[in-house]
Amino acid sequence: MLQSLNVSRLKLYDADPNVLLAFSNSNVEFIIGLGNEYLQDMTDPIKAQNWVQQHLQPHITQTKITCITVGNEVFMSNDTRLWSNLLPAMKMVYSTLVNLGLDKQVIVTSAHSFNIIGNSYPPSAGTFRQDLAEYIQAILNFHSQIKSPFLINAYPFFAYKDNPNQISLEYVLFQPNPGMTDPNTNLHYDNMLYAQVDAVYSAIKAMGHTDIEVMISETGWPSKGDPDEVGSTPENAALYHSNLLNRIQARQGTPAKPSVPIDIYVFALFNENLKPGPTSEKNYGLFYPDGTPVYNSGLQGYLPGIVYYSSASTINEWSIFSLVIFVMSVLKIT
């Protein structure tokens, strides 16, 4: 299925050896993930080296691994030990790569929830949460030092779901709408996602950095939700993704960074019916596990003759591993 989608990049939330082995000698570039449960161990140089030697080195000669994400949405946890361990873990993994001569081949970063932003309106006044400031400042200093991107998971769906009477559906779905103008910069925004990205750039700038790229490591829209999850329909999901695809194909930048095309990963490749949480969490997928589309996202029009595998009777309907794929060097899907 992935070959039929002309995948050129793929992101795992782990470092599943079966997946990495399956893509040996392919042209697919991988981002692999190091889970939050490993962060404390990664502060130990011996354990960090063991992880890299066990999960990265056996595959890197045959599978194109270009990035390691150390932790995912760590600051969503109430565990301040995780907060404290994140940067030391990132540094230790990077030092291990340097010692093994792999630092020019594999970059180190982490993915964060948009929840780390304390103020996002207007975008030019974006700031990080005060309780996270000391952690984020040190992480940004490290990103600047090693020239790696800052990853953010941004979902306009959440903002709309929580305030459907105040936020325009057209604004979050990239549909025609009046938009908003930032009173400080006079820059005009016709969609929320771009405003969120520029708010992150402003927050980074407020901490003294203008040399760090912001990448959207997750965005998406659920095709189904609970009664209180307003807007979670296949029609809205189709609009969000097809309109986003058009923007990505046009290589658009944000109003504040018009010459820098946004690097965007779309969540998710498959529906996950065993995932805990509200109904929406199970229904972000563009595809069912048998390869058939949940709705028309617009992808089909960009892809040559997709072959769908129909083995639904023999596979459990959830994604055993979450992944992000980059389609035709244009769209990335989680």
Active site residues: 73, 218
The token pair at 247 is: 């923007």
Query: Under the phi-then-psi rule, with left for phi > 0, alpha for psi from -120 to 50, and beta for the rest, what region is 270?
Result: beta
The conformation of residue 21, written as its DSSP 8-state character, comes to H
Contact partners, residue 80, CB within 8 Å, separation at least 6: none
Residue 44 CA: distances (Å) to CA of 33, 52, 84, 138, 262: 18, 12, 14, 19, 35
Place of tokens 């990664």: 42
3-state secondary structure (DSSP) of residue 207: coil
Measuring CA to CA, which residue among 146, 98, 154 is closest to residue 123?
154
Residue 71 CA: distances (Å) to CA of 56, 81, 91: 16, 13, 12
Contact between 320 and 18 under an 8 Å Cβ cutoff? The reply is: no
Question: CB count, 10 Å around CB of 130?
Answer: 9
Q: Amino acid letter at 213?
A: E
- Partners of residue 293 on adjacent β-strands: 287
Rounded distance between C-alpha atoms, residue 150 and residue 136, angstroms: 11
Rounded distance between C-alpha atoms, residue 7 and residue 5, angstroms: 5
Residues in the chain: 334
